[in-house]
Structure 1
Amino acid sequence: MEQLILEVTARHIKDTKIIRSCQHGFTKIKSCLTNMVSFYSGVVDERTAVDIVYLNFRNTSDNASHEIHVEKLLMCGPDEQTVWWI
Protein backbone atom coordinates (compact mmCIF):
# COMPACT_ATOMS: atom_id res chain seq x y z
CA MET A 1 0.00 0.00 0.00
CA GLU A 2 2.82 2.42 0.88
CA GLN A 3 4.48 1.75 -2.48
CA LEU A 4 1.24 2.52 -4.30
CA ILE A 5 0.82 5.82 -2.43
CA LEU A 6 4.45 6.72 -3.18
CA GLU A 7 4.03 5.97 -6.89
CA VAL A 8 0.79 7.95 -7.20
CA THR A 9 2.23 10.89 -5.28
CA ALA A 10 5.46 10.86 -7.33
CA ARG A 11 3.49 10.73 -10.59
CA HIS A 12 1.28 13.65 -9.46
CA ILE A 13 4.31 15.74 -8.51
CA LYS A 14 5.96 15.00 -11.85
CA ASP A 15 2.83 15.59 -13.95
CA THR A 16 1.87 18.86 -12.26
CA LYS A 17 5.47 20.06 -12.09
CA ILE A 18 5.11 21.04 -8.43
CA ILE A 19 8.84 20.57 -7.96
CA ARG A 20 10.98 22.52 -10.41
CA SER A 21 13.75 20.81 -12.35
CA CYS A 22 16.38 22.78 -10.44
CA GLN A 23 15.23 21.25 -7.11
CA HIS A 24 17.83 19.10 -5.37
CA GLY A 25 17.15 16.80 -2.46
CA PHE A 26 13.91 14.88 -1.92
CA THR A 27 13.96 13.88 -5.58
CA LYS A 28 15.36 10.87 -7.40
CA ILE A 29 18.83 11.32 -8.93
CA LYS A 30 19.25 14.88 -7.60
CA SER A 31 20.57 14.71 -4.06
CA CYS A 32 21.90 17.41 -1.78
CA LEU A 33 25.35 16.36 -3.03
CA THR A 34 24.45 17.24 -6.62
CA ASN A 35 23.25 20.62 -5.34
CA MET A 36 26.63 21.27 -3.70
CA VAL A 37 28.48 20.25 -6.87
CA SER A 38 26.25 22.46 -9.00
CA PHE A 39 26.73 25.45 -6.69
CA TYR A 40 30.48 24.96 -6.44
CA SER A 41 30.80 24.65 -10.23
CA GLY A 42 28.96 27.94 -10.65
CA VAL A 43 31.25 29.70 -8.16
CA VAL A 44 34.35 28.34 -9.89
CA ASP A 45 33.04 29.34 -13.33
CA GLU A 46 32.40 32.90 -12.10
CA ARG A 47 35.81 33.06 -10.40
CA THR A 48 34.09 34.44 -7.33
CA ALA A 49 35.61 34.35 -3.86
CA VAL A 50 33.20 32.78 -1.40
CA ASP A 51 33.23 30.96 1.93
CA ILE A 52 31.19 27.76 2.01
CA VAL A 53 30.32 25.64 5.02
CA TYR A 54 28.53 22.33 4.51
CA LEU A 55 27.01 20.65 7.53
CA ASN A 56 25.51 17.19 7.46
CA PHE A 57 22.98 16.73 10.23
CA ARG A 58 21.45 13.58 8.79
CA ASN A 59 20.15 11.32 11.55
CA THR A 60 21.75 13.44 14.26
CA SER A 61 18.39 14.48 15.66
CA ASP A 62 17.72 10.83 16.44
CA ASN A 63 20.80 10.62 18.64
CA ALA A 64 21.23 13.94 20.43
CA SER A 65 19.24 16.96 21.50
CA HIS A 66 19.37 20.33 19.76
CA GLU A 67 21.15 21.85 22.76
CA ILE A 68 24.03 19.38 22.46
CA HIS A 69 24.50 20.33 18.80
CA VAL A 70 24.50 24.02 19.70
CA GLU A 71 27.09 23.51 22.44
CA LYS A 72 29.38 21.54 20.12
CA LEU A 73 29.11 24.13 17.35
CA LEU A 74 29.92 26.92 19.81
CA MET A 75 33.05 25.02 20.88
CA CYS A 76 34.22 25.01 17.24
CA GLY A 77 34.58 28.78 17.17
CA PRO A 78 31.67 30.46 15.37
CA ASP A 79 29.96 33.28 17.25
CA GLU A 80 26.65 32.58 18.96
CA GLN A 81 24.56 34.43 16.36
CA THR A 82 26.01 32.29 13.57
CA VAL A 83 25.39 29.08 15.50
CA TRP A 84 21.76 30.00 16.16
CA TRP A 85 21.34 30.84 12.46
CA ILE A 86 22.59 27.33 11.60
Structure 2
Amino acid sequence: MLKHMENKEVINGSKQGFTKCKFCLKNLVAFYHGVTVVVDKGKETNVIYLDLCKAFDTVPYYIIVLSGEIFDGWTTWWIRNWLNHCTQRCVVNDSMSKWRTVMSGIPQQLVSGLILFNIFGGLESRIE
Protein backbone atom coordinates (compact mmCIF):
# COMPACT_ATOMS: atom_id res chain seq x y z
CA MET A 1 0.00 0.00 0.00
CA LEU A 2 2.80 2.42 0.90
CA LYS A 3 4.48 1.87 -2.48
CA HIS A 4 1.17 2.62 -4.23
CA MET A 5 0.78 5.82 -2.20
CA GLU A 6 4.34 6.90 -3.01
CA ASN A 7 3.82 6.24 -6.73
CA LYS A 8 0.58 8.28 -6.68
CA GLU A 9 2.30 10.99 -4.57
CA VAL A 10 -0.53 10.87 -2.04
CA ILE A 11 1.63 11.41 1.04
CA ASN A 12 2.47 15.08 1.51
CA GLY A 13 6.19 15.77 1.02
CA SER A 14 6.46 17.32 4.47
CA LYS A 15 5.36 14.12 6.22
CA GLN A 16 8.43 12.55 7.78
CA GLY A 17 7.15 10.17 10.47
CA PHE A 18 6.53 6.51 9.61
CA THR A 19 8.06 7.03 6.16
CA LYS A 20 11.12 5.19 4.83
CA CYS A 21 14.39 7.18 4.98
CA LYS A 22 12.71 10.13 6.69
CA PHE A 23 12.54 11.19 10.31
CA CYS A 24 10.59 13.75 12.33
CA LEU A 25 13.61 15.96 13.04
CA LYS A 26 13.64 17.02 9.38
CA ASN A 27 10.20 18.60 9.91
CA LEU A 28 11.58 20.68 12.78
CA VAL A 29 14.59 21.80 10.73
CA ALA A 30 12.38 22.73 7.74
CA PHE A 31 9.98 24.64 10.01
CA TYR A 32 12.83 26.47 11.76
CA HIS A 33 14.32 27.44 8.39
CA GLY A 34 10.97 28.83 7.21
CA VAL A 35 10.57 30.95 10.35
CA THR A 36 14.19 32.14 10.14
CA VAL A 37 13.74 33.30 6.52
CA VAL A 38 10.68 35.36 7.51
CA VAL A 39 12.41 36.89 10.55
CA ASP A 40 15.57 37.66 8.54
CA LYS A 41 13.40 39.70 6.16
CA GLY A 42 12.29 41.78 9.14
CA LYS A 43 8.75 40.46 9.07
CA GLU A 44 6.72 39.39 12.06
CA THR A 45 5.69 35.80 12.44
CA ASN A 46 3.32 33.90 14.67
CA VAL A 47 3.50 30.21 15.44
CA ILE A 48 0.54 28.08 16.43
CA TYR A 49 1.14 24.51 17.51
CA LEU A 50 -1.65 22.01 16.93
CA ASP A 51 -1.65 18.48 18.34
CA LEU A 52 -3.73 16.67 15.74
CA CYS A 53 -2.96 13.15 16.98
CA LYS A 54 -5.84 13.09 19.46
CA ALA A 55 -8.19 14.62 16.91
CA PHE A 56 -7.17 11.96 14.39
CA ASP A 57 -8.28 9.29 16.87
CA THR A 58 -11.85 10.62 16.74
CA VAL A 59 -12.36 11.36 13.03
CA PRO A 60 -15.48 9.53 11.77
CA TYR A 61 -14.66 7.07 8.99
CA TYR A 62 -16.97 8.67 6.45
CA ILE A 63 -15.01 11.93 6.70
CA ILE A 64 -11.73 10.11 6.19
CA VAL A 65 -13.09 8.34 3.12
CA LEU A 66 -14.76 11.51 1.76
CA SER A 67 -11.50 13.41 2.10
CA GLY A 68 -10.04 10.90 -0.32
CA GLU A 69 -10.62 13.06 -3.39
CA ILE A 70 -6.91 12.60 -4.03
CA PHE A 71 -7.29 8.83 -4.44
CA ASP A 72 -8.30 6.72 -7.36
CA GLY A 73 -11.35 4.47 -7.05
CA TRP A 74 -9.42 1.36 -6.01
CA THR A 75 -7.55 3.13 -3.20
CA THR A 76 -10.74 4.72 -1.87
CA TRP A 77 -12.44 1.31 -1.94
CA TRP A 78 -9.50 -0.30 -0.10
CA ILE A 79 -9.46 2.35 2.65
CA ARG A 80 -13.25 2.19 3.08
CA ASN A 81 -13.19 -1.62 3.20
CA TRP A 82 -10.34 -1.71 5.72
CA LEU A 83 -11.93 0.89 8.02
CA ASN A 84 -15.42 -0.63 7.87
CA HIS A 85 -14.20 -3.95 9.21
CA CYS A 86 -12.44 -2.75 12.37
CA THR A 87 -13.76 -4.14 15.64
CA GLN A 88 -12.67 -3.94 19.24
CA ARG A 89 -13.60 -5.14 22.69
CA CYS A 90 -12.64 -4.28 26.23
CA VAL A 91 -10.95 -6.81 28.53
CA VAL A 92 -10.69 -6.19 32.27
CA ASN A 93 -9.24 -9.02 34.34
CA ASP A 94 -11.28 -12.07 33.28
CA SER A 95 -14.26 -10.13 31.91
CA MET A 96 -14.64 -9.36 28.20
CA SER A 97 -17.16 -7.16 26.45
CA LYS A 98 -18.79 -8.10 23.16
CA TRP A 99 -16.97 -7.22 19.95
CA ARG A 100 -18.17 -3.85 18.64
CA THR A 101 -17.64 -2.07 15.34
CA VAL A 102 -15.24 0.86 15.60
CA MET A 103 -16.92 3.94 14.13
CA SER A 104 -14.08 6.48 14.22
CA GLY A 105 -10.34 6.89 14.44
CA ILE A 106 -7.49 5.00 12.86
CA PRO A 107 -5.82 2.07 14.63
CA GLN A 108 -2.37 3.66 14.73
CA GLN A 109 -0.62 0.62 16.17
CA LEU A 110 -1.03 -1.13 12.82
CA VAL A 111 1.28 -0.44 9.87
CA SER A 112 -1.69 0.45 7.67
CA GLY A 113 -2.90 2.87 10.32
CA LEU A 114 0.46 4.64 10.30
CA ILE A 115 0.32 4.96 6.52
CA LEU A 116 -3.20 6.42 6.68
CA PHE A 117 -2.06 8.78 9.44
CA ASN A 118 0.60 10.13 7.07
CA ILE A 119 -1.94 10.54 4.27
CA PHE A 120 -4.67 12.27 6.26
CA GLY A 121 -2.29 14.05 8.62
CA GLY A 122 -1.18 16.35 5.79
CA LEU A 123 -3.49 19.14 6.87
CA GLU A 124 -0.69 21.70 6.80
CA SER A 125 -0.87 21.71 3.02
CA ARG A 126 -4.45 23.04 3.26
CA ILE A 127 -3.73 25.77 5.84
CA GLU A 128 -2.80 29.27 4.71
Greater share of residues in strand: 2
TM class by shorter chain equals 0.3 to 0.5
Name the structure, 1 or 2, with higher relative contact order (CA <8 Å, separation 6+): 2
TM-score under structure 2 normalisation?
0.29
TM-score, normalised to structure 1, is 0.41
Higher helix share: 1
